[in-house]
Amino acid sequence: MKAIAESLESLDGIAKSLLGEFSAERIFVFVGTMGAGKTTFIQRICAQLGVEENMSSPTFSIVNEYQTKQGEKVYHFDMYRIEKLEEAVDMGFEEYLESGNYCFIEWPDKVEQLLPDKMVVVRLEVENELRNISADIVE
């Protein structure tokens, strides 16, 4: 999947397309520089899934848990502050991944050794005021 986000409003359609194209997948990792829009895009994806509560970056909590209107759990991770892999292990990161619920992970390089073999890699690149968004399954 490839898309160009020309505005914040265009992210809703891109989020819907992403979920449609990868409907069987539950583990999504987001790669991009600081300020590329990873958290904002994840918020739009969660909204498409039916999350109605206020969503924020889990930079300090590492993980935020949301619930969809259908009662499904959605996990949003920001691994930026993880310094040692053991921190992720101690918080039960692997159990989250095995839960069968959506897991959206920012800064996946910090926990690369714990990630499953199969996941969707979403790349966000900034070019002028546009965001180039691409996604592929890695197995």
One pLDDT digit (tens) per residue for the chain, 139 residues:
999 998 888 999 999 999 999 999 999 999 999 989 999 999 999 999 999 988 878 777 899 999 999 999 999 999 999 999 999 999 999 999 999 999 999 999 999 999 999 999 999 999 888 899 999 999 8
Count of CB atoms situated within 10 Å of the CB of 54: 7
Sheet strands (E) in 6-92: 27-31, 63-67, 73-78
Asked if residues 77 and 58 have their Cβ atoms less than 8 Å apart, the reply is yes
Q: Kindly report the pTM of this predicted structure.
A: 0.93
Q: Of the candidates 133, 130, 134, which has an alpha carbon nearest to the alpha carbon of residue 7?
A: 130
CB 120 within 8 A of CB 28: yes
CATH number at residue 111: 3.40.50.300
First-to-final CA distance of the chain: 16
> What's the confidence (pLDDT) of residue 102?
98
Task: Please tell me the predicted confidence (pLDDT) of residue 128.
Answer: 84
Residue with tokens 């979403």: 122
Residue 59's pLDDT is what?
A: 72
Q: Which domain holds residue 17?
A: 2-138
pLDDT of residue 61: 83
Total domain count, the chain: 1
